[in-house]
Chains A and B, each alone.
Chain A
Amino acid sequence: MSRLLQTPFLPSVSLPTKTRSSVPGFRVKPRTIPIQAKIREIFMPALSSTMTEGKIVSWVKSEGDKLNKGESVVVVESDKADMDVETFYDGYLAAIMVEEGGVAPVGSAIALLAETEDEIADAKAKASGGGDSKPPPPPPPASPPTPAVESPVAVEKKVAAPVSVKAVAASSVHPASEGGKRIVASPYAKKLAKELKVELAGLVGSGPMGRIVAKDVEAVSAGGGVQAAVAVKEVAAAPGVELGSVVPFTTMQGAVSRNMVESLAVPTFRVGYTITTDALDALYKKIKSKGVTMTALLAKATALALAKHPVVNSSCRDGNSFVYNSSINVAVAVAIDGGLITPVLQNADKVDIYSLSRKWKELVDKARAKQLQPQEYNTGTFTLSNLGMFGVDRFDAILPPGTGAIMAVGASQPSTVATKDGRIGMKNQMQVNVTADHRVIYGADLAQFLQTLASIIEDPKDLTF
């Protein structure tokens, strides 16, 4: 496994570094699927291939709210991350069957969607067997529209995660699969699936062009026993995995594990910095409509700073020499099903912000389809990891082998600060923390790099050229 996952940290999603307004818990968004005409059920989606049940973090909408296709309805916590689930249909959220905090097995109904207001009552009646339906609270209407734009991760999640039968289909993006109508699996994968009784329709392939190959089937089968057992047993009890069970690594986990262990051979150190993001937020607000994403902005800012500090963009592989990399390729860690991957924004210092944003979108789409070509995820010279969307204010990352440094980005949060003119004020600030290979990058290098980065972010006019 090449370097899927060479980054250590958790799923970072896109980089919306900033938790948007209030609610700290961020969410990513996949989608949900209803069934049934008129009154449709909203199912607990399978957000990853290993997910057997999901916990309702919060309902974004309340009973009675009108839903538009594509809107986020609920935030679900899978075994990997929280994700927004959006509806595929217009209608009204008629009845919530699983309350916040509740757990439901994948595929079970968690809410009912009525096509018209009139049907809400019917739906409620229907749901009455299910859960009491009381409109749950956190409908922070502001947060749902969490910029789809800026949460690539979300997208990522979708990818990996077959959301429902239908969604699954969609996830198989092999060109010949005609959008999921056909299953593209290698001969041996088919054979194994039959033997191991694995349903290929639910699988996302890791082979070329998203093809399902033998190891995908094996991975599911290895995790599958557990999965099935849990599903049966657990309906609303403890979330998560079966305690005490031993679960073999999936291929991706194995790769991550190897990379992580390998990283121990590199002497690293960390330098942190707090950066005020008011100006960046303002800029983002201004150009968001042009398709610019926060991820691209951060990558761009980082790349411009790297251009001034080439040593931070260098890499040392043999311990005797190091390379000043000729291009600045910013890898951005993205959580995907069963692990994470680092799509690379190549020449991020040279490409303009709009192209960069489009490129990022394209990469995320490809990652979703598992169609990233190796050069699209293993050519990074510097890595960004962002957990800000989860409200994380600071963390540190493990250095991916083969690169010189990685930057962990926390959430941008309103903070009270003393300003230079002696007053106290509120500013949005985020903390970044760079982990670097001390064989080639020294403390002063990082310090200067961070200073440059801070000045770029605090005065972001250069980002748009």
Chain B
Amino acid sequence: ARVRVRGSGAAMAALLEHESQIFLELFHRDGLVVCARGLGIDRLLLRFLRLYCEPASLVLVLNTSPAEEEYFIDQLRSDGVVHLPRRVTNEIANNTRYEFYTQGGVIFATSRILVVDFLTDRIPANLITGILVYKAHRIIESCQEAFILRLYRQKNKQGFIKAFTDNAVAFNTGFCHVERVMKNLFVGKLYLWPRFHIAVHSFLEKHKPEVVEIHVAMTPAMLAIQTAILDILNACLKELKRYNPALEVEDLSLENAIAKPFDKTIRHYLDPLWHQLGAKTKSLVQDLKILRTLLLYLTQYDCVTFLNLLESLKASEKAFGENSGWLFLDSSTSMFVNARARVYRIADEKLNQKGKGSGSEKRDVKKENELKRELVLESNPKWEALREVLKEIENENKNSDNLGGPGQVLICASDDRACAQLREYIITGAEAFLTRLYNKTFGKDEKAAEVWIKDRKAMKSKGNAKPDTGPQAKKAKLTASSKQNKQKKQQDRTLIQMIGKTEEEKREEVEVEDNKELSSSQEGNIEEIIPEDFDFSLPSDCYYGIFKDPLTIIHPLQGCGDPYALTRVLHEVEPRYVVLYDAELTFVRQLEIYKASRPGKPLRYFLIYGGSTEEQRYLTALRKEKEAFEKLIREKASMVVPEEREGRDETNLDLLRDARPASASADTRKAGGQEQKGVQQTIIVDMREFRSELPSLIHRRGIDIEPVTLEVGDYILTPDICVERKSISDLIGSLNNGRLYAQCVAMCRYYKRPVLLIEFDPNKSFSLIPRGSLQPEISSNDVTSKLTLLTLHFPKLRILWCPSPHATAEVFEELKQNHPQPDAETAMAVTADSEILPDSDKYNPGPQDFLLKMPGVNAKNCRALMTHVKSIAELVMLSKDELAKILGNAANATQLFDFIHLTYAEALAKGKSKR
């Protein structure tokens, strides 16, 4: 507990110089803050949250994920804030929500709930102190958050809007992106805080942590592989350009291809015309993806994993018979050769190839051609480097009494898998680890291969010479493993003394600082090395002198559920040494801030670069952000911000959705839109529809929205027109499972003009079926066939085809012209009971449905039945003969009669006997 308090205390300590500057600026004037990655945007938001955590104010926070909310609340709690932020979820009932809001404080709310609450006046809009928007780069025009902000500004002119983001690169896409975002946010001021901002720079310069960069050279084999992959990547890119000359070329450079978001860029370019691309291009894109993974695996993981991936790629290639071309390039063969060479060598060369660093191990494997292999198992050079670093820290810790005891070590790698590997490496050493991995992956394969060979033999009944391969191999394995054990012990003594020491010491420390251990394990995010493991993995003679020594923690940089796990760990462990196994921009910055927030305490971090591509990736990320900021600065300089942008007076054109002043809309809504009928357009929208962006767009066009739970239809435009909205995937799904049919039945029954709206995704192509996939025969499974059938059975049903929600909103508006407004009461009532009916049907539809569901009754004889029989009760009284007369078919009659008169008990008995 002690550590916890100290750690969070540090987090909430006074803001750094530049941070308080941002804070003050933003406090005085609303705006959008764009901060460099990792430069403490969360600390800033936290600061604001703390400011408003009191019942007197009501502040909404938009766009946070549950994990982030959890983190903020936690931080505030440990900081002793009494009035903690609360969350609005659907667990809080509709009618209690108003009170909930009026209690004040900071509230995290789901957007969907907020939209509805704003529309129904369930939230006291005029009492809101302000809104904080996190991750503001996501606010585009049609999203719900923008809708909320618009509603808020319409009703509340005084409150503030402050927006935060640390993703500058996101603003780099598209034309005037930042300006549009600001427009949606209703803020007039843009604050840019790049890393190279003078205040930030000079401040961080003062508290510079000690940085040691270690460049690890790759082994020749790795280098060869890397060149091969790059060659292939380049070839693929060229090919891609050749096939699609229309593509923008500048982004498709090799440098970009290495960088992380390349997949996204390429999707961005290709998605709109995806359906037009040939199979060749698609497979090229796929190949690029695979190659990028390969490149990552090369430096990230060990040789065995890499080879495994490569082999499986090849195997799948063979299995599916699709050749993507690159496997046949010269470079790829060299890649395969080298990858194999990293794992094993042909036995003949074994003597001269034995390296002392990568102490090798013999293991004979029988193959069909009696090829002898020897495991070489080249270990990853980064591991060596890591060991060096740890050793250095070790030495330093020995004579670090003047620094107040040894410092903690934090090792950061990119993902879970890398962490697990590193951990095992540190505990058991390179050899043991690699061998185990090898046995696991390839041992299995060999066994499988043998089985397969045997099978084939049996089938072909060729009496070949190897009936005893299985046992032999097993023997070989046994001897190998025993040998391996011996060797391992020796190695453990010699090679891993140092590491073993660390582990042991760690155990000591763990005992000493028990409570610390507890608190961190409760967090559940830390990959703690459990002390019990050591006893198994280390021989007992590796026990060395004890001195208080570092707690070493390995933590993944990504792939963790909680985005703040790393931050937490950082503040809890308070490491003096940080080893960045994989360099990552955000975390480096975070470290700088961390250092700066605790002046006087030494911090040193090591960066390990795995080789040219990895370094390249890091540098590209750095450059990208810098460019993005430079662009933003230029844009800011030339930006014209209209006076009324903030929407505090009546002149903002965005807020005026209509000719009507915005303030009047609140009044009409309170009265349910009744009084101004004919003037104010209203559309009744189903509650569940607020997940889509359409309601927001409709509202924007100056049409009022009434959120209501509808049983029939999604939108009611006029008393006659009822619309069921279906996206393409929805359409196909509901055509298949029969839901659409039921919905159409209901709509046709209650409304004069039922409409099916088919809405396409604006980012995809506007067409129902992809080009070239039309089958020559009519099949009942096609969407088109089902749609045809639907129109045949519902001649009253109209279909609207809309390429985007914007178009839909437009069509809605035009459809509503010169029509009376729908009434929410009737819309709801219409679904609740079946009494209010259009007179088009001669018969009551309820019983009609009832009849049709019965066996022996179909659409044709249903009419006859209804004209003859007054009610269901009467039908039940009829005898079998009478039924036959009416239905005109004895078989049907029997079916129906049996159905009616079969008792429940009998049915149960029957059902049981069936089971």
A, B co-complexed = no
